[in-house]
Amino acid sequence: MKYKKLGHSDLEVSVVGVGCMMFGSMCDQDTTTAIIDTALDQGVNFFDTANIYGAPPGTSEQFVGKALGARRKDIVLTTKFGAASGGRGGSVEGGGTRNYIMECVEKSLKDLGTDYLDLYQYHFPDVNTPAEETLRALEELVQQGKVRFIGCSNMTGDQLQESLDVADKIGTSKYVSAQNWYSLLTRGIEQDLVPVAEKANVSIIPYFPLESGLLTGKYRKGQNDPEGSRLAKWGGAFKTDDKLDKVEALIGYAESIGHSILDLAVGGLTNRPYVATVIAGVTKPEQLVQNVAAGNVELTAAQLDEIDRICS
């Protein structure tokens, strides 16, 4: 397993992490534990959950905490606060306020069975709460030892820059990571967020790197989706004709250089210097093993250029 430094922190994270979104909803406790056991065996040390994951919300954190047990000290554990229920509705009202943050962190610590978080992430920016209030609250948690480092998620480049500037002005901790939707097929952050993040040594943590399975090769143009699959139920923004065309081109190119499309999808991100760790939600241990293998693939600059050309 390869490891990278997470931004300007002292955290070393595996280039492939575990997205824990499915734990407590699509995965029961036994499956969650099996996935985490496999992850640790594979050298994975980055586990990403959120206070809204699971059914009811918080179940994912509870399952992760139980599965880790005494091994919690050996990994980089992160959770999030501030998203509306379901995670796609943006920020919950008041999600960046001090009172909300303090309430959330205590529940997350309890559910995870830990007294500290390695990384605490602001899930969706609350545009109605000043960045200063949010950063001061997070700094309190750092000073109390409940949080080691802070990260953000779903921010634009301008929002990240504002937060960095405010942190400089008031002397608080800065975000060390930015977690956003980023894949070979969804690349808007390269023009907006990435330049700001690179300049400030803030690592990118891609979510939806496989476009909900589209970049695994099991969904093909002109073929029926596998029965019961996620995209069969909700293709939405993931499954478009343009993306399917690019998937076919990526499969052809991957085969020509002796790789799979999964190798390109994951390795095509882990080989970028500004990406620290790639998190994909998994529901089976074998999926994680495949992701780890793909994340360790070494791609040349010429191969990355060709991937970029295909996906442009």
Query: What are the residue ranges spanned by the domains of the chain?
Result: 3-213+262-299
Determine the average pLDDT of the residues in 151-168.
98
- What was the pLDDT predicted at 145? 98
225: confidence class by pLDDT, cuts 50, 70, 90: low
- What was the pLDDT predicted at 87? 59
DSSP H stretches of helix in the chain: 29-41, 59-68, 98-112, 131-144, 157-170, 193-200, 230-233, 241-256, 261-270, 285-295, 301-311
Question: Which pLDDT tens digit goes with each residue over 122-147?
Answer: 999 999 999 999 999 999 999 999 99
List the catalytic residue out of 3, 53, 100, 253.
Answer: 53
Residue 110 has pLDDT above 70, yes or no: yes
SS (H, E, C) 20-83: CCCECCCECHHHHHHHHHHHHHCCCCEEECCCCCCCCCCHHHHHHHHHHHHHHHHCEEEEEECE
Determine the average pLDDT of the residues in 66-93.
92
User: In this structure, are residues 31 and 39 in contact, taking their beta carbons and an 8 Å threshold?
Assistant: no
* Residue partners of 108: CB distance under 8 A and separation at least 6: 51, 61, 79, 81, 117
Question: Which pLDDT tens digit goes with each residue over 248-260?
Answer: 999 999 999 999 9
Residue 227 has pLDDT above 60, yes or no: yes
Rounded distance, CA 95 to CA 17, Å? 26
- What was the pLDDT predicted at 231? 59
Percent of the chain with pLDDT over 90: 89
Determine the average pLDDT of the residues in 82-99.
88
31: confidence class by pLDDT, cuts 50, 70, 90: very high
247: confidence class by pLDDT, cuts 50, 70, 90: very high
Return the residue matching tokens 């559910």: 111
235: confidence class by pLDDT, cuts 50, 70, 90: low
Question: Which pLDDT tens digit goes with each residue over 179-209?
Answer: 999 999 999 999 999 999 999 999 999 999 9
CATH code for the domain defined by 3-213+262-299: 3.20.20.100
274: confidence class by pLDDT, cuts 50, 70, 90: very high
Q: Which of 57-71, 110-124, 218-232, 237-251 is predicted with the least confidence, judged by mean pLDDT? A: 218-232
Residue 153 has pLDDT above 70, yes or no: yes
Catalytic status, residue 53 = yes
- What was the pLDDT predicted at 143? 98
Instruction: Quote the mean pLDDT of the chain.
Output: 94
Determine the 3-state secondary structure of 118 from DSSP: strand
